Amino acid sequence: MHPLKKLGLLFVLLALLAGAIPAQGESVTGYAAENTVNLYGKNSASASVVATVSYGESLTCLAAKDGWVLVEYSDEEYAYCRASDLTKKDPNVYSLTVYAQEDAVAYARPVKGGKSLALTAGTTLTLVAVTPDGKWCRVEKNGVNAYVPASALSKDKDPDEPMKTVDAYAADTLVRLWEKSGGAGSTAGYLGYGEKVTCSALENGWAYVKGVSAAGWCKAASLDTENPCSRSATLAVGEDGARAYALPSASARGIASLKAGTALKCVGITPDGKWCRVTAGGKYGYVRKSDMTTSTKVDKVIALALEQLDKPYVYATRGPASFDCAGLTLYCYQKVCGISLGRSAQSQGYNEKYPKIETISQLLPGDLVFFNTEPEDDDLTDHVGIYLGNGRFVHASSSGKKVMISSLSSGFYKKSFSWGRRLIP
């Protein structure tokens, strides 16, 4: 029996990793993000390897600290792995029918060894994932998962049979399309973040896709089967002359010149944080984030929050003479919007009524921002403020002893940022 197996020892480990348990003390599911991921008996690369998992396999993550995650990898079997070897996003996103090109072997791991299934030429399989190096496919057959070299699979059993397609979306700011798989040939076009395409082929980590205005091969890793631009916020153009582009690039084709005050729906912000994907009249385009302002209600919330600058921090107060952190956010949103928030940063942070914003680059002015300022407890939202834009937020600070503006771009608050919540769409 592995020394971590006994459940009593788990609680000792959790005590050592205090504050690193996932939100509200619940476990979360993580997935192996590399071809193979080693699991160690201790949180050290010099410790013995007790197990190995393969790309796409799931693990129950119990706690994390200093770049290591405590995981349960089978029934009451516990170990450590590097946090960088895991992803919280399920990579098993495909559901494509593929065929064995010839008699072949499906392996238990993405290495040649440990036979799992014997395949005959023409065997039908469901492809669910492609390893990061593009050399192996994770496939499913009769409820069994295995790994087959990508070179041993074909998208067609019968050349005359139409290829099935799946919908996908551009997940990078700008996705380059090529004439041939592997980045060969000339550029066939580009996709902008959130653009919907149909994927009809996968080959060695590359996907053949067709969008509204372009078709070609791109890296499969630059696609997502879930729409990354599924939420919206009403924004307005800040100044006359701002332009909307067909793609998130200043060198792309301009599609409109916008007047100050023009209202647009922002459905997503590109991963680099520089562009908004906007829609109006059923058409999509991209506008620089710096050219957009928020709605009137958000402006009023921010203006009210800024009026409280330098008022004293006093625990368990909600204005108007003094505030604690949750009291400030509650006061501003209740007075301007009639929104009743919880009385603590924790209740506001875990309120699933409002969309969760995972990264700083995706924040918009007016969003609530939450921080894990006390890593010794289980709560990941010990502190809250209101995002102002340009990497700044306003908050009632217990350490600063007043309402003040701080930076999210660097330092303590960037490191302790947990997530945001969008109260006004």
Q: Is 2 a catalytic residue?
A: no
Lowest-pLDDT choice from 19-28, 31-40, 399-408: 19-28
User: What CATH fold (topology level) applies to the domain 170-224?
Assistant: SH3 type barrels. (2.30.30)
Of 369, 421, 378, 384, the residue nearest 22 (C-alpha): 378
Of 127, 142, 282, the residue nearest 205 (C-alpha): 127
Could you report the per-residue pLDDT of 123-157, keeping only the tens digit for each? 888 888 888 877 888 998 888 889 998 888 877 66
Strand partners, 371: 383, 417
Of 151, 138, 146, 92, the residue nearest 118 (C-alpha): 146
- What pLDDT score was predicted for residue 26? 55
Sheet holding 233-237, edge to edge: 254-258, 242-245, 283-288, 275-280, 263-269, 233-237, 292-294
User: What CATH fold (topology level) applies to the domain 96-154?
Assistant: SH3 type barrels. (2.30.30)
Q: Is 229 a catalytic residue?
A: no
**Model-level pTM greater than 0.75?**
no
At 279, list the tokens.
């829609």
Sheet holding 104-107, edge to edge: 115-119, 104-107, 144-149, 136-141, 124-130, 96-100, 153-154
Q: Residue 306: which residues within 8 A CB-CB, separation 6 or more?
A: 394
Q: What is the mean pLDDT of residues 362-390?
A: 91
21: pLDDT strictly greater than 80 = no
- What pLDDT score was predicted for residue 4? 35
- What pLDDT score was predicted for residue 53? 92
As annotated, the residues of the chain forming the CATH 2.30.30.40 domain(s) are 7-87, 96-154, 233-294
| CATH number for the domain running over 233-294 | 2.30.30.40
- CB neighbour class for 281 (10 Å; exposed up to 12, middle 13-18, buried from 19): exposed
Query: Of 81, 229, 325, 332, which is the active-site residue?
Result: 325
At 79, list the tokens.
């170990």
Residue 89 near residue 31, CB atoms below 8 Å: yes
At 135, list the tokens.
């050399």
Tell me yes or no: is domain 296-421 CATH 3.40.50.11540.
Answer: no
Q: What is the mean pLDDT of residues 233-252?
A: 91
Q: Is 325 a catalytic residue?
A: yes
As annotated, the residues of the chain forming the CATH 3.90.1720.10 domain(s) are 296-421
Query: Of 229, 276, 332, 383, which is the active-site residue?
Result: 383
Q: Most confidently modeled of 112-116, 160-164, 234-238? A: 234-238
Could you report the per-residue pLDDT of 277-332, keeping only the tens digit for each? 999 888 899 999 989 887 678 888 998 999 999 999 999 999 999 999 999 999 99
Q: What is the mean pLDDT of residues 184-197?
A: 94
| CATH number for the domain running over 7-87 | 2.30.30.40
Query: Of 137, 218, 332, 395, which is the active-site residue?
Result: 395
Classify 51 as helix, strand or coil: strand
- What pLDDT score was predicted for residue 189? 94
- Helix and strand numbers (H, E) in the chain are 5, 34
